[in-house]
Amino acid sequence: MESFEDLGLKPDLVEALAAEGIEAPTAIQQDSIPVLRKGHSAAVRAGPGAGVLLAYGAPLLDRLPAEAGQPGGLVITPTRPAAIEAARFLGRLALATGHRVAALGGDWALPELADILFTTSDDLSSAVESGEVSVSGVSILVLDGAGMTLDGEGTKKVDEIVSLLRGEELQGIVLGDPLTKEARSFVERHFARSVFVPSDAAAGDGEESPVQRGALKVLTVEGRGTTQALVSAVSDVLDEGARHVICFFRNEDRAADAADHLLVHGYASGVVGDVNVPVWLSVSPPEARRLLEESIADPEDVSVVSADVPPDTDTLDRRHAIAPRRGVVIAHAREVPHLRRAAAEAGYRLQEVPARPVSALDDAEAFRSSLEEVLDEEDLAAYVALLEPLLERWSGIELAAAMTAILRRKGAVASPTAVVARAAHPGRPQADSRPPSWSKLFLTVGERDGARAGDILGAITGETDVQGTQVGRIEIRDTYTRVEVESVVADRVIQALNGITIRGRSVRADFDRNDPRGGGGRQGGGRGGPHRGR
């Protein structure tokens, strides 16, 4: 089934999904929606990254009556921020269907009157005890993230909630990846006739592929750092020798936004096969494969970046089987369990590394994104009351600056001085941040040995504690390589590289004869960018 209309959803809901840029259901949505629309209870083996919210959210909007005056659908999540985020997204779709969606602990008017209520087990228990919320009308119970929700004392709390609901008339939907022993036991106690989705979930956690197709590098991000992580990924794979990068997205809107952000950072993008630009954008692996085969580009020079987690095993394999070079997947930490399963089933192993900011300005952007996330999702009333007396003397922005300074003392955020100066005068050396001195080293490995910039950079950062930002221009010639490093780490790099093997060749490292030891390094400007290839 290639559309939500094929799944039998109401036309207004299908149109609302299309307005959000969601036109094709993921595998778990294709499997779950028909089952849940019929009123069956289900144990769904899926987690963040697979499209779980719509897998149960669309049937809720499709089955429940609108404006009933009390909750008919109850969604229990592991945390309050998760409940708030999910309610906001489903609430946008509910505008088209006439349903009211809310979350306990957020800024919703009269959540007790919502048709679909998102909450944690703790918040719901308190609201029921106080009489704020009635659950007498609940006909569908969703347990999202069952592994966390049913951990420890959570099972007892959820059992108590179920005892207040409509017994045999209750439709139960339990989601988790994996479906833990506690989750399976919960299903057996309360929803013994549940359907398992996918069907092999009844037997266990699935099997790894007997065919191994290589490795995928995983950049884990937090908050809203996905777009900046994409820039980092594109920069890295080009530095490692790829001529082109295919970036895959779930929809056209995401691709268009990414194109603008990449262009700001100097990376032109276009359709797959356009040899005049380094970055290719796509939402369709089959179309990308066709265009690549029709172009003059060599697949050996192409790397693949999944800008969002592939929602299922088939999509992951279709994306990353296009090119033989090691691919990259950008994932939020909560999506990694789903990605790990999909990769194992497709025959890929994961190499997980945290996404890194590429500059001080990006550090500032990440800090602001973290603040936005807290402002959007956390209940700050107690902190407002704490700070309110200070507002008689200082403005809110001054208080925020003071608290940032406290975090700076504790090492939680970087010094803002260089960031502010760079933002005001981009490209100008700053008086309070002296540029480093650079030394040029000579390595006895070159193009004839198959060496690439990524091999040299990987050897330096892998054999020492030197950071990638301390490596400058890498100039690879036929039989040798010249590489710039900060002078303060030059001796360490030479000692570490002497005798190691790169591309099967034993390496000798020393200072380049044109860059004499002890002061021959040049200052700051004119680097030509960090660790760029020839």
**What tokens were used for 339?**
């990605």
CA 187 vs CA 52, 58, 121, 203, 339: distances in Å? 18, 22, 17, 14, 25
Q: Do 333 and 225 fall into the same domain?
A: yes
Query: For residue 428, is pLDDT > 60?
Result: no
Q: What percent of the chain has pLDDT over 90?
A: 49
Judgement on whether residues 196 and 120 belong to the same structural domain of the protein: yes
What is the model's pLDDT at position 70?
Answer: 92
Assigned domain for 21 exists: yes
Q: Do residue 246 and residue 333 come from a single domain?
A: yes
| pLDDT given for residue 384 in this prediction | 73
pLDDT at 120: 93
Parent domain of 44: 11-202
Q: Are residues 240 and 318 in the same domain?
A: yes
Does the pLDDT at position 114 exceed 90? yes
Q: What is the mean pLDDT of residues 293-318?
A: 93
| pLDDT recorded at residue 434 | 52
**Considering the domain boundaries, does residue 531 fall inside one?**
no
Q: Are residues 416 and 444 in the same domain?
A: no
249 in the same domain as 385: no
Whole-number pLDDT of residue 367: 67
More confident residue, 267 or 514: 267
pLDDT number for residue 522:
41
CATH code at 336?
Answer: 3.40.50.300
Number of domains, the chain: 4
Predicted confidence band at 363 (pLDDT cuts at 50, 70, 90)?
low
Query: Whole-angstrom Cα distance, residue 456 to residue 369?
Result: 34
5 assigned to some structural domain = no
Assess whether 52 and 177 both reside in one domain.
yes
Residue 217: in which H helix or E strand, if any?
strand 214-221
Q: How far apart are CA 228 and CA 219, in angstroms?
A: 11
pLDDT at position 526 is 37
The answer to whether residue 375 sits within a structural domain is: no
Write out pLDDT tens, residues 320-359: 999 988 899 999 888 988 999 999 999 999 887 654 544 4
Top-confidence residue, 270 or 362 = 270
Residue ending a domain, choose from 168, 202, 236: 202
CA-to-CA distance for 101 and 61, rounded, in angstroms?
10
Tell me the pLDDT tens digit for each residue of 313-326. Answer: 999 999 999 998 88
**Residue 38 sits in the same domain as residue 175:** yes
Q: What is the pLDDT of residues 472-501, one digit of tens each?
A: 888 888 889 999 988 889 999 999 998 898
**Does any domain span residue 155?**
yes
Domain-embedded: residue 233: yes
Residue 431: which pLDDT band, with cuts at 50, 70 and 90? Answer: very low
Answer yes or no: is pLDDT of 110 > 50. Answer: yes
Q: pLDDT tens across 75-96, in order?
A: 999 989 899 999 999 999 999 9
Whether the predicted model's global pTM rises above the 0.85 cut: no
Phi, psi of 7 (to 5 degrees): -80, -5
Query: What is the strand order of the sheet 195-197 is part of?
Result: 101-103, 116-119, 73-76, 140-144, 171-176, 42-45, 195-197
Q: Mind listing the pLDDT tens digit for each residue in 198-229?
A: 988 887 766 667 778 888 999 988 766 788 88
**Domain end: 181, 202, 223, which one?**
202
Task: State the pLDDT confidence band at 419, using cuts at 50, 70 and 90.
Answer: very low
Residues 167-190: what's their mean pLDDT? Answer: 91
Are 34 and 83 part of one and the same domain?
Answer: yes
Tokens of 210: 């007997």
165 and 60, same structural domain?
A: yes
Boundary of a domain, candidates 202, 234, 261: 202
pLDDT digits (tens, 9 = 90+) for 19-60: 888 988 999 999 999 999 999 999 999 999 999 999 999 999
Q: Is residue 232 part of a domain?
A: yes
Q: How far is CA 223 from CA 228, 339, 352, 521, in A?
A: 11, 18, 18, 40
DSSP state of 21: T
Q: Is 87 helix (H, G, I), strand (E, B) or coil?
A: helix
Instruction: Give percent of the chain above pLDDT 70.
Output: 84
Beta strands in 396-518 (DSSP E): 437-443, 471-476, 481-486, 501-502, 505-506, 509-511
CA distance 95 to 3: 21
Distance CA 235, CA 239 (A): 6
Q: Which residue has the tokens 């309360």?
A: 190
Question: Residue 207's pLDDT is what?
Answer: 66
Task: Give φ, ψ of 266 to 5 degrees.
Answer: 95, 10
Domain of residue 477, CATH code = 3.30.70.330
Tokens for 24? 């094709």
Say yes or no: 445 and 416 in one domain: no
Report how far apart, in Å, the C-alpha atoms of 389 and of each of 383, 402, 516 are: 11, 15, 62
Count of CB atoms situated within 10 Å of the CB of 279: 22
pLDDT at 1: 53
Shared-domain flag, residues 52 and 96: yes
- The average confidence (pLDDT) of the chain is 84
- Does residue 279 form part of some domain? yes
Cβ contact 370:404 at 8 Å: no
| Mean pLDDT, range 502-517, rounded to an integer | 81
State the pLDDT at residue 205.
64
Query: Could you give the CA distance from residue 408 to residue 395 in angstroms, rounded to a whole number?
Result: 20
- How large is the average pLDDT for residues 308-315? 94
Q: What is the pLDDT of residue 248?
A: 97
Taking residues 418-443, report their average pLDDT.
Answer: 57
